[in-house]
Amino acid sequence: MKKKGCLSIGCLVIVIFFIAVPVLFISQNPEKYNTDSKSKLIRELDITVEQGEGVIKTLASVGISEDVTIKHDKSLDNAHIEGEKGYRLSNRDVSNIILYMNYGEVHNIRYADNEMYKDGKVLSKIDDYIVTTSEKSELQIRCQESIKSVLKSPSTAKFAGVGDWKVWKENGQTIVQSYVDSQNSLGAMTRSEFQFIIKNDNVVSLMIDGKEYMK
């Protein structure tokens, strides 16, 4: 019985060792093993915690949260200056945001052909160019109600599926395009294509089958 007790104590010591050592190591290097957004960003960019705070602040200044997927793209390196590294950022609403880092600091942020951050200055924000998933849903509901108000038989309206709605921003305006099937004055189902142009949250143009309905 005594021998068995010794074995049990020995096993317990070994178990504690294999649990305590990794926990101690991780606690001393939290930025390498944490799974929160901030720690992931720091690891992907291979920067210090202090530098990470600066990057997060800069991303926020152009409307990008720290909760993004980051991938280093070697083809983007040294695009502007020697030693610069290029990264592609994406989240649930947008992809292919380009982040240029220079020795731990943000040098440039671009989206498509648009400069958002350069030489320490905010030039534009991501919301100037994209429509988020929640915004798109709200616009669809709003546009459907507007279209129903001009249909001959609004109760028969069948709108396009989510994939057949085009929504984008351009020159400070939001453009919405899609189609609706509904009965005409003769009772026949017909398809009408429509386009909304929205500025400052107001509809400034409504085209249905090429005809302008806004006067």
139-196 pLDDT, tens digit each: 999 999 999 999 999 999 999 998 899 999 988 899 999 999 999 989 899 999 999 9
On the question of pLDDT at 36 being above 90, the answer is no
Tell me 183's DSSP state. Answer: E
Query: What span, in angstroms and rounded, lies between the C-alpha atoms of 74 and 77?
Result: 5
User: Domain segments of the chain: what residues?
Assistant: 42-125, 133-212
Mean pLDDT taken over the chain? 87
Please give the angle made by the CA atoms of 54, 60 and 66, to the nearest 5 degrees. 80
Query: What is the rounded distance in angstroms from the CA atom of residue 210 to the CA atom of residue 108?
Result: 41
Residue 211 token pair: 């005809």
Give the CA dihedral 41, 45, 46, 51, nearest 10 degrees.
Answer: -70
pTM: 0.69
CA 89 vs CA 6, 18, 84: distances in Å: 56, 37, 16
Token pair belonging to 181: 């099937």
Judge contact between 31 and 87, C-beta under 8 A: no
Distance, CA of 7 to chain centre: 56
